[in-house]
């Protein structure tokens, strides 16, 4: 009996092993099969699309057309600038519209899918004049998608909800919501007027922003770029109701003027006026009709003084590779020049860490305020050479303050009082390089 039981167990084990083998083999075979292609509903090149018409069940029609400059424009329900990214995404989705699956090859009754009164009709016109028409029916009962078909194909498909939402757009969805439409890299002038003061920026010979008015001054490029970013990011909320739009217009009209910004590029000049009503900011643009509520970031970003945009660093060299440094401290004069990776003073090699520390101190020298005059006789000056450029800055003491003036420029920079003392110490800390220590003998 014991032997018989063992035989039965052995046969069962063999059967299970065989079943597991064939199951694994079948699974591997299934995994090795190429994935089934998702059926295409429309297949064309997005660049060939010239026009798209979206007609909703309620009769609303939105039309976008490609211009000669390859830019999209909304032509219906009324002419509007189109958001190029959103419109381009819509066109790309439609040009290669994929389905989840084919629901019915030849349906006898299209009404069961909602095609008797489609929720959306999409007509795509190509550059050669040929068209394709897509009908969007009811939402599918499962899967979260929708039924879709073309007018020249009997098949009914389902598409994923994210595909449907990418082309089921209103004019407000597709319109360009920017209040200023300039191109950053093409800007030539920026002007901000606020509370009776005005500052104008332009590009200098190096392509950097400089203050032109109220008088020529060095500009803080980071602050100017931040100003431009805020103007570029100023957008309307196109989804507001007519009632809220009227409230925004009234708030703007009765608000206090905060600032007016003007920008100029190769396409012309644009203007944005910002006002404050209670705690909210509103703006009106020369580019688009109406007044719109905007962020407090924009309002506070325009409400600045000229000095807020000035470059507070006394040196411009930034992180450029300095190759020569000349210092005059009273009657004492020192010169450091880079040779390869080494710093030298005359023929003597100097400690590179000390020289770099001195350069860092000069780079960090920054104004706490600006003065128009009152610079006494300089007691310390530094000239740095980098690339084809050289900068010289004069330093002096005035009471407990350190003052600085760039050579041939009138502006006086007031620095922290300890700045000059720290520079003098940094110079005295530069020592000759120490010869490498000999390795200890074992």
Express each pLDDT in 88-112 by its tens digit. Answer: 999 999 999 999 999 999 999 999 9
Q: Is the pLDDT of residue 23 over 90?
A: no
* Residue 436 tokens, joined: 């490498």
Confidence band (pLDDT; 50, 70, 90) for 435?
Answer: confident
Distance CA 323, CA 347 (A): 16
Measured over the CA atoms of residue 404, residue 409, residue 412 and residue 414, the dihedral's sign is: negative
For 311-338, what is the mean pLDDT? 96
> CB under 8 Å to 335, separation ≥6 — which residues?
324, 325, 326, 327, 345, 346
Give the separation between CA 234 and CA 229, rounded to whole angstroms: 9
CATH class in words for 46-174: mainly beta
d(C-alpha 427, C-alpha 429), whole Å = 5
Give per-residue pLDDT as tens, 41-86: 999 999 999 999 999 999 999 999 999 999 999 999 999 999 999 9
Helix (H) or strand (E) holding 204: none
Torsion of the alpha carbons at 250, 253, 256 and 262, rounded to the nearest 10: 120
Residue linked to tokens 């093409």? 186
- For the chain, what are the domain ranges? 46-174, 184-309, 322-428
Quote the mean pLDDT of the chain: 90
User: What mean pLDDT comes out for the span 251-263?
Assistant: 97
Backbone angles phi, psi at 37, to 5 degrees: -70, 140
CB count within 10 Å of CB 433 equals 16
Long-range interactions of 167-170: CB distance < 8 A, separation 24+: 167/54, 167/90, 167/93, 167/94, 167/122, 168/54, 168/120, 168/136, 169/54, 169/62, 169/86, 169/90, 170/60, 170/62
What is the distance between the alpha carbons of residues 274 and 255, in angstroms, rounded to a whole number? Answer: 9
Structure tokens at 43: 């297949």
What's the pLDDT band for 132 if we cut at 50, 70, 90? very high
Checking if the pLDDT of 197 tops 60, the result is yes
Provide the angle, in degrees to the nearest 10, between the axes of the packed helices 352-364 and 419-428. Answer: 170
Architecture of domain 322-428: 2-Layer Sandwich (3.30)
Q: Reply yes or no on whether the pLDDT at 14 is more than 90.
A: no
Percent of the chain with pLDDT over 90: 83
**Is the pLDDT score of 27 beyond 60?**
no
Residue 240: count of CB within 10 angstroms of its CB: 16
Laid out side by side, the sheet with 101-104 consists of: 80-81, 72-76, 61-66, 49-56, 120-126, 131-139, 146-150, 156-159, 101-104
pLDDT of residue 423: 97
């Amino acid at each position: 009996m014991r032997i018989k039981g063992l035989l039965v167990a052995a046969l069962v084990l063999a059967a299970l092993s065989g079943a597991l083998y064939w199951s694994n083999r079948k699974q591997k075979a299934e995994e090795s099969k190429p994935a089934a292609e998702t059926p295409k509903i429309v297949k064309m090149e997005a660049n060939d699309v010239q026009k798209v018409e979206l007609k909703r069940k309620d009769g609303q029609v939105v039309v976008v057309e490609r211009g000669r400059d390859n830019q999209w424009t909304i032509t219906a329900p009324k002419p509007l600038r189109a958001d190029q990214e959103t419109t381009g995404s819509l066109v790309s989705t439609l040009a290669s519209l994929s389905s989840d699956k084919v629901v019915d090859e030849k349906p006898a009754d299209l009404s069961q899918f909602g095609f008797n009164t489609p929720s959306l009709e999409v007509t795509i016109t190509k550059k050669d004049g040929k068209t394709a028409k897509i009908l969007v029916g009811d939402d599918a009962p499962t899967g979260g998608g929708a039924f879709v078909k073309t007018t020249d194909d009997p098949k009914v498909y389902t598409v994923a909800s994210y595909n449907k939402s990418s082309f089921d757009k209103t004019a407000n969805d597709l319109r360009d919501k920017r209040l200023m439409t300039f191109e950053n890299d093409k800007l030539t002038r920026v002007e901000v007027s606020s509370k009776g003061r005005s500052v104008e920026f332009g590009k200098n010979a190096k392509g950097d922003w400089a203050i032109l008015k109220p008088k020529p001054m060095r500009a803080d490029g980071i602050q100017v770029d931040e100003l431009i970013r805020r103007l570029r990011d100023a957008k309307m909320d196109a989804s507001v109701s007519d009632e809220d739009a009227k409230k925004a217009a009234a708030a703007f009209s009765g608000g206090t003027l905060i600032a007016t910004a003007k920008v100029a590029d190769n396409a012309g000049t644009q203007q944005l006026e910002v006002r404050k009503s209670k705690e909210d900011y509103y703006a009106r643009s020369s580019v688009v009709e109406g007044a719109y509520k905007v962020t407090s970031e924009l309002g506070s970003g325009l409400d600045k003084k000229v000095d807020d945009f000035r470059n507070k660093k006394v040196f411009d060299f930034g992180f450029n590779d300095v190759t020569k440094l000349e210092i005059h401290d009273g009657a004492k004069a020192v010169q450091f020049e880079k040779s390869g990776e080494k710093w030298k003073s005359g023929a003597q090699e100097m400690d590179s860490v000390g020289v770099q520390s001195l350069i860092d101190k000069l780079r960090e020298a920054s104004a706490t305020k600006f003065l128009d005059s009152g610079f006494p006789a300089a007691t310390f000056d530094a000239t740095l050479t980098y690339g084809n450029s050289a900068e010289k800055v004069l330093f002096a003491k005035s009471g407990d303050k350190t003052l600085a003036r760039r050579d041939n420029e009138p502006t006086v920079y007031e620095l922290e009082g300890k700045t000059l003392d720290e520079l003098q110490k940094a110079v005295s800390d530069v020592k000759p390089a120490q010869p490498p220590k000999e390795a200890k003998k074992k």
